A and B are shown apart, each in its own frame.
Chain A
Amino acid sequence: MNSNFKIFLKGITDVSPLMIPVVPFGLIFGILSIDIGFSPLATMGMSLIIFGGASQIILLQLFSGGASSLVIISSVGAVNSRHLLYGAVVSEHVSDLKLIWKIIISYFLIDQAFAVSNEYFKKYKEKNKYFHLIGGGFTCWVVWQTTTFLGIILGAAIPEKLGLSFAIPLTFLAILVNDFRKFINVIVILVSGLVATLGFNYIPYKAYVIVAALTGLFAAMVLTKIIKKI
């Protein structure tokens, strides 16, 4: 059996390639947060307390659009509902662990760490394999905090007319690159995008994100069912 530290290191090396896109993401977050008017401390606080790139950027987007706190919190919850899936998958590998480890692992259960550790968990049966997830999650944590910090510093120096807020849709677009090749995903993307765009002014309380996401999921439900029948 490998030592805890060795598995932790393996987690770091496995997740490293996935850290490259996190760098611009973190910089953009830091820059925009300052731009919108959050203090440097609150910006750092978001990265430390929330520690979720997509949800933090959605928070900024909705906050700057004047959405209510309730809508912002529920949208953040909706964006993060994908973690329920990660948790469900990981839970079978960590069900025998003490509660304290489950609490620690949960903080590090982020997209990139889940992606690589899930592969590792499938291959290896060691009892201490969860150190892989902690290694990957910790790596991402360091990169995320550092780039947020650099973004805060850069934010003061970057001119507004560069139109960096356009980086928000671009980063989300980039997350979806693999989904553009799948038919059902493309339909879901179009349904959600159209509902959000057309409902932007008509859906009250800026709840367009949630309404569009639910409509998109409903489309996915219907489409997956129809395609199975064919």
Chain B
Amino acid sequence: MSDWALIIYCGLITYLTRFSMIALLKKEMFNDRTREILSYVPSAIFPAIIFPAIFLDSSGSLELTDNPKILAAIIATCVGIFSRSILATIFSGLASYWAIIFI
């Protein structure tokens, strides 16, 4: 598949997730239970990107020692929990990562 075809398909599926409910629903179709489960989608999907990117090296094997990303991610998480700030989380993580690899 060409890059552009991939981009267009990804765009289509993204648009459909936004449009389908607005177009199809008249009033409430989701019950509270479905709504409750859907609210966990971010917590279920983002760690699937976060964890491998932190704990695995570029060849895909587990890298638990001598891995600056782990400490940096822990610092970012703590900053995130206490500050509740998206910006502070990203920058504290990047800053500690750079501090570890360059100093």
Contact = CB atoms under 8 A, between A and B. Distances in A.
B58 to A, nearest CB: 9
Contacts of A167: 90, 94
Nearest to B25: A91
A134 interface: no
Interface residues of B, number: 72
A154 interface: no
Interface class of chain A by DSSP = helix
Interface in A156-202: 162-163, 165-181, 184-185, 188-190, 192-197, 200-201
Contacts of B28: 88, 92
Contact of B7 (A50, A174, A192): A50
Interface stretch (A117-125, A142-150, A205-213): A205-213
Contacts of B91: 24
Contacts of A90: 21-22
Interface in A91-133: 91-92, 94-95, 99, 102-103, 105-107, 109
B73 A105 contact: no
A213 B21 CA distance: 22
Interface residues of A, number: 91
Interface in B5-42: 5-11, 13-15, 17-30, 35-42
Interface of B: 1, 3-11, 13-15, 17-30, 35-56, 60-62, 69, 72-73, 76-77, 80-81, 83-87, 89-91, 93-94, 97-98, 101
The 7 A-B residue pairs with the shortest CB-CB distance, nearest first, are A87-B21, A216-B44, A193-B51, A49-B11, A193-B47, A21-B86, A212-B48
Given A59-B10, A213-B41, 13 more contacts: A24-B87, A63-B6, A69-B6, A73-B6, A86-B21, A88-B21, A166-B69, A169-B51, A170-B90, A173-B77, A196-B47, A197-B52, A197-B62
7 contacts: A24-B87, A173-B73, A173-B80, A176-B50, A177-B83, A201-B60, A212-B44
